[in-house]
Structure 1
Amino acid sequence: MCTLKVRATIFILISMFVIQAFSSSMNIHLYKRSFKSACDVKYDSSLYARCDRVCEDCLEIYKDVDIHAGCKSNCFNNSFFVKCAETVLPESDANSLIQKAKDHSKVN
């Protein structure tokens, strides 16, 4: 009888953990799908896609929607984007993309 209670408790705890993990994953997915930005209209599609990919990769690493929103804010011209680019790209690629985002935000 005691082993049955222990097994039931373990099962409940594991179930709660799985549900929590699944729920967090779904929240991030729904958040990513609902994010709209004026930058996708201003930027040429290639540059926007590259910058957006940096923010998406950063979200996958840190699992924090605030970092994701910060990364995309001000059309990628911000410190979050710089840190994300430096995290997910080789140094020369990061520097180049950061400069392109800065230059583009000055023009538009």
Structure 2
Amino acid sequence: MHLSCVQLCALLTLTLAAAAPPPHHVARRSFFNLQCKGVYDAAIFARLDRICDDCYNLFREPQLYNLCRKDCFTTDYFKGCVEVLQETDELELFKTYIKQLHGADPGI
């Protein structure tokens, strides 16, 4: 089966669209839904969210993902995920990130 140039371009466009990160406004809305009251930074938010995503992928427990992100990444679940993922050497950096997003000392 041979694809025409138009079909190939359409297929490539669909593939790239599926692999694209969520739009900026979706991440920003998530920032507010998590009750973050600090300064939004897309890169920082994505890095912290990735911790929770990786933790979810490890345990496949949907509630864990939400608990990890709850209250703008300030729960013990987030810290537990950092430990399980063996990223404790980055914990102080993550606390700085959380402080910026949360708008207060994270207390974790």
Q: TM bucket by the smaller chain? A: 0.5 to 0.7
CA contact (8 A) 1:85 1:94 kept: yes
CA contact (8 A) 1:70 1:78 kept: yes
The residue aligned with 1:90 is 87
Q: What is the rounded CA distance, in whole Å, between the counterparts of 1:65 and 1:47 in structure 2?
A: 22
Structure-to-structure mapping, 1:65-84, within 5 angstroms: 65-84=62-81
The residue aligned with 1:9 is none
The residue aligned with 1:25 is none
- Structure number with higher helix proportion: 1
Aligned to 2:48, what secondary structure does the other structure show?
A: helix
The residue aligned with 1:62 is 59
CA contact (8 A) 2:41 2:101 kept: no
Q: What is the rounded CA distance, in whole Å, between the counterparts of 1:106 and 1:46 in structure 2?
A: 16
The residue aligned with 1:46 is 43
Q: TM-score, length-normalised on structure 2?
A: 0.56
Q: Once the 2 structures are TM-superposed, how far is the Cα of residue 49 of structure 1 from its aligned partner?
A: 0.5
Identity score, percent: 23
Structure-to-structure mapping, 1:14-53, within 5 angstroms: 37=30, 38=32, 39=34, 43-53=40-50
In structure 1, the gaps of 5 or more residues are: 1-32
Q: Which structure would you say has the larger Rg?
A: 1
CA contact (8 A) 1:59 1:67 kept: yes
Q: TM-score, length-normalised on structure 1?
A: 0.56
Q: Once the 2 structures are TM-superposed, how far is the Cα of residue 73 of structure 1 from its aligned partner?
A: 0.7
The residue aligned with 2:97 is 100
Structure number with the bigger relative contact order (C-alpha 8 A, sep ≥ 6) is 2
Q: Where in structure 1 do 4 or more consecutive aligned residues deviate above 4 Å?
A: 39-42
Aligned to 2:103, what secondary structure does the other structure show?
A: helix
Q: Once the 2 structures are TM-superposed, how far is the Cα of residue 95 of structure 1 from its aligned partner?
A: 3.2
